A and B are shown apart, each in its own frame.
Chain A
Amino acid sequence: DQQVKQNSPSLSVQEGRISILNCDYTNSMFDYFLWYKKYPAEGPTFLISISSIKDKNEDGRFTVFLNKSAKHLSLHIVPSQPGDSAVYFCAARAPKGAGGTSYGKLTFGQGTILTVHP
């Protein structure tokens, strides 16, 4: 049962344009959502997160939007840069004792390969 889904395996964007990466989830107990960026043969690096009590969080070029009613979140990158090319994973966390085995356990989506062309 895939509780976190990223339905677009890849996305190609022109430099300077906006990149929008989408993520859907099914578990209403998730209370915290995160986006990670990953290069091949490296561990994921944290990008930005959002609590379920908010609907938007912004950090520089990165903005995450959360629509709880739709169980949907998205990551906007603007303007996109070639260095942003990587695999982006969304992840969700359930509170301890509410479907999660421990604080910090994350469920990841399948990832979206973002390619930003110069």
Chain B
Amino acid sequence: GAVVSQHPSWVICKSGTSVKIECRSLDFQATTMFWYRQFPKQSLMLMATSNEGSKATYEQGVEKDKFLINHASLTLSTLTVTSAHPEDSSFYICSASGLGSGTGELFFGEGSRLTVL
């Protein structure tokens, strides 16, 4: 199946700093990428949908100024957590769909564990 890669897989940062997470589709053109967040023992919660070359669409309750999403190319989307605080600590997962990625299933990255001290 299609491959989606995330980097870094884990990151620890100090409160107040910004962290960037990359999501790449390795063997297909991702016209749409999705960013999810998962708290321990909870479901994946969609944060935002990004379409290549346009602004991201954020889900209700997600601060767009805090979680900056850029989808500048068909193979790369980035999520930047700005001025991170301990409550932002979570597991962030991206997924992608697009040309050649299949009829319905999304392909997910490996996830990025963010810990804010």
Contact = CB atoms under 8 A, between A and B. Distances in A.
**A and B: interacting chains:** yes
Interface of A: 32, 34, 36, 41-46, 49, 51, 89, 93, 101-111
Contacts of A41: 91, 111, 113
A58 to B, nearest CB: 16
Given A103-B32, A105-B46, A110-B43, A43 B111 contact: yes
Interface string B88-107: 00010101010000001111
B26 to A, nearest CB: 14
Contacts of B57: 101-102
B9 to A, nearest CB: 8
A110 B42 contact: yes
Contacts of A49: 104-105
A27 B6 CA distance: 31
Nearest to A6: B43
B93 to A, nearest CB: 5
Interface of B: 1, 4, 6, 32, 34, 42-46, 49, 51, 57, 91, 93, 95, 97, 104-111, 113
Residue among A43, A44, A45, A111 facing the most chain B CB atoms (10 A cut-off): A43
Given A101-B49, A102-B49, A106-B46, A34 B34 contact: no
Contacts of A106: 34, 46, 95, 106
A101 B97 CA distance: 14
Contacts of A108: 43-45
Contact of A103 (B45, B46, B97, B107): B97
A43 B105 CA distance: 14
A34 B49 CA distance: 19
A8 to B, nearest CB: 14
Contacts of A111: 42-43
